[in-house]
Amino acid sequence: MSNFETRLAELGVTLPDAPAPAANYVPYVQVGDLVHVSGQISTKDGAFLTGKLGDNMTAEAGAQAARGCAISLLAQVKAACGGDLDRLQRVVKLVGFVNSTSDFADQPKVINGASDFMVEALGDAGRHARSAVSAASLPFGVAVEIEGIFQIK
């Protein structure tokens, strides 16, 4: 078990198998030492985690959805690293999309669910640049989608 996976286990997290793409794209692309991971949507126990922030979902519930996206992002990075998550050097950037009403303004609080998890799980390697963006809707009605850029060795 890798150092990062040991820390994840201490947090009670086991990385799932990397989710398969839902359409005509690849889950990640490696360019040099950067891995660009396609958007990972919010799921829980294998089901889509749906909702609209500002309507039928709280920012706290949205943050939990974002945390789930972060776990899926790390699963994709592990796949890109041939199963060795310790090849991950750092999280470079996350871009989070929040399915929200036009008057909802707490997108940063929602995406903090992913950002906080990355730092908790990876320490300084989890610190990253970030964007948190509102979306009128997301695929399958999910609450959150997050894509990321990761540096590996």
From 153, 146, 118, 116, select the one nearest 131 (Cα to Cα).
Answer: 146
Q: What are phi and psi of 117, to 5 degrees?
A: -65, -45
Q: Rounded to an integer, what is the distance from CA 12 to the centroid of its chain?
A: 17
Give the pLDDT score at 1: 58
DSSP 19: P
Is 115 in a helix, a strand, or coil? helix
| Confidence (pLDDT) at 20 | 86
Q: Tell me the pLDDT of the chain (153 aa) as tens digits.
A: 579 989 999 999 999 999 888 889 999 999 999 999 999 999 888 899 999 999 999 999 999 999 999 999 999 999 999 999 999 999 999 999 999 999 999 999 999 999 999 999 999 999 999 999 999 999 999 999 999 999 999
pLDDT at position 22 = 81
> Which two tokens mark 60?
């706290």
Give the integer Cα–Cα distance in Å for 71 and 19.
Answer: 11
Tokens of 142: 């999910």
> Helix H segments across 38-141?
59-80, 107-122
3-state SS assignment for residue 38: strand
